Amino acid sequence: MRLAVRPLTAVAVVAIAIAACSPAGAGTSPGLTDGGAGSPGSSESLELRLGYFPNLTHATALAGIKQGIFEKALPDDVTLSTTPFNAGPEAVEAIFSGALDATFIGPNPAINAFSKSNGEAIRIVSGATSGGAYLVVKPEITSAAQLKGATLATPQLGNTQDVALRAWLKGEGLSSDPQGGGDVSILPQPNAQTLDTFRSGDIDGAWVPEPWATRLVQEGGGKVLVDERDLWPAGEYVTTHLIVTTEFLEAHPDVVKALLTGVVQATDYVNDQPLEAQAVVNEGIADVTQKGLPEAVLSAAWPNLTFTVDPIASSLATSAAEAAELGLLETTDLTGIYDLTLLNEVLREAGRPEIAVP
């Protein structure tokens, strides 16, 4: 099995669309070789195009790629191509443009992809991570009431942390809107930029995933105002899960099952060998961002995350309801969004408990 990694430091939808128009087989093209999702009946080599983010919340993906776990799990005639993204909406656009077959992603972009395609485009096939998202603010801010008139950042409009922040603000009696107006102005921007704008004082805080929350605290002098775990029953909520296009899942279930075998193995790896895994994941982050995390950030942020193949489906309906109330989602009907059949086959064959299908 061959591995092709696209070494992009900032993936924009426009760049993906341009690459998708490149000739098949070009080094940076996300197009398929013969037998890919575009030609499911072919017996030729198949390319599996997988997305992920250079965040600790995607540690399973980063470890699976860096350690060759996914590569080894896939059949010999399948090429794995990987593309990094800054936030979920970008990855969803890549799914819709036909540039991706699968991606690790947060709950709200997955919900949007499912909703906008009338339930046809994607299926959630596994969990990856729970926890690891925080609202970090200037030290002098000690309550929600003090946020009136403030400017807060999120990774991207409509992404998981963006919806979580807007929903929390609404619950605290504070308004916001997609245009940046309301009681609290929300400024979607890349996480690396958020660290700079927080340091400079241009924003008052941000709702971000790890490692950025810890970096805002350690490098920006901020403090945690909200740990999102405190907002969920038993502190459990989905931060990252794996989605696959319905077309690819139906055309190549054997390949998806092999990928899920790799996901289970990568999850075991990050849980069983945390110190080694931290170093490997940090290398993966550096591959994309050109700079690894300081040891102090890595060691402080890692325990804030729970790595699990359970997609924690109970939290998804709540996220959908919140997005709908905010006007960022048209429907909350998620019937059929999960297909854990292949994951449960992998778990059953490994002698492990299956995960209930919602």
Are 224 and 241 found together in one domain?
A: no
Can you tell me the distance from the alpha carbon of 190 to that of 185, in angstroms, rounded to the nearest whole number? Answer: 16
Last residue of a domain, one of 235, 267, 302: 235
User: CB of 201 within 8 A of CB of 195?
Assistant: no
| Phi-psi label, residue 153: left if phi above 0, alpha if psi -120 to 50, beta otherwise | beta
Taking CA atoms, 124 is separated from 7, 19, 337, 355, in Å, by 26, 26, 6, 13
The pLDDT value recorded for residue 273 is 96
In a 3-state reduction of DSSP, which class is residue 202? Answer: coil
Can you tell me the distance from the alpha carbon of 300 to that of 321, in angstroms, rounded to the nearest whole number? Answer: 32
242-258 per-position pLDDT tens digit:
999 999 999 999 999 99
Residue 354 lies in a domain: no
CATH assignment of the domain containing 269: 3.40.190.10
User: CB of 16 within 8 A of CB of 227?
Assistant: no
The pLDDT value recorded for residue 329 is 73
Are 15 and 117 found together in one domain?
A: yes
Antiparallel, parallel or unpaired: β 151-154 and 205-209: parallel
In one-letter notation, the amino acid at residue 82 is: T
Are 180 and 201 found together in one domain?
A: yes
Are 254 and 141 found together in one domain?
A: no
Residue 301 lies in a domain: yes
* pTM of the entire predicted model: 0.81
Are 119 and 14 found together in one domain?
A: yes
The pLDDT value recorded for residue 326 is 83
Q: Per the structure, how many domains does the chain have?
A: 2
Can you tell me the distance from the alpha carbon of 206 to that of 204, in angstroms, rounded to the nearest whole number? Answer: 7
Range of the domain at 37: 2-131+236-349
Give the total residue count for the chain.
Answer: 358
Are 340 and 229 found together in one domain?
A: no
Residue 25 lies in a domain: yes
In a 3-state reduction of DSSP, which class is residue 299? Answer: helix
The pLDDT value recorded for residue 358 is 65
Residue whose tokens read 């854990």: 340
Last residue of a domain, one of 203, 235, 267: 235
Find all residues with CB under 8 Å of 115, minimum gap 6, and list them.
329, 330, 331, 333
Are 176 and 85 found together in one domain?
A: no
9-34 per-position pLDDT tens digit:
333 333 333 333 333 333 332 333 33
Can you tell me the distance from the alpha carbon of 266 to that of 292, in angstroms, rounded to the nearest whole number? Answer: 20
Are 142 and 35 found together in one domain?
A: no
Are 79 and 181 found together in one domain?
A: no
Residue 357 lies in a domain: no
Instruction: Tally the C-alpha atoms within 13 A of residue 198's C-alpha that lie toward its C-beta.
Output: 33
Are 122 and 265 found together in one domain?
A: yes
Residue 28 lies in a domain: yes
Provide the angle, in degrees to the nearest 10, between the axes of the packed helices 274-289 and 253-272: 120
Can you tell me the distance from the alpha carbon of 154 to that of 188, in angstroms, rounded to the nearest whole number? Answer: 5
Last residue of a domain, one of 235, 265, 297: 235
Residue 356 lies in a domain: no
Residue 147 lies in a domain: yes
Residues of the chain with pLDDT under 50: 1-43
Are 123 and 145 found together in one domain?
A: no
Residue 108 lies in a domain: yes
Can you tell me the distance from the alpha carbon of 66 to that of 86, in angstroms, rounded to the nearest whole number? Answer: 18
The pLDDT value recorded for residue 296 is 94
Cβ–Cβ contacts within 10 Å for residue 326, how many? 18
Are 158 and 297 found together in one domain?
A: no
Q: Report the candidate in 348, 346, 350, 349 with the shortest Cα–Cα distance to residue 125.
A: 346
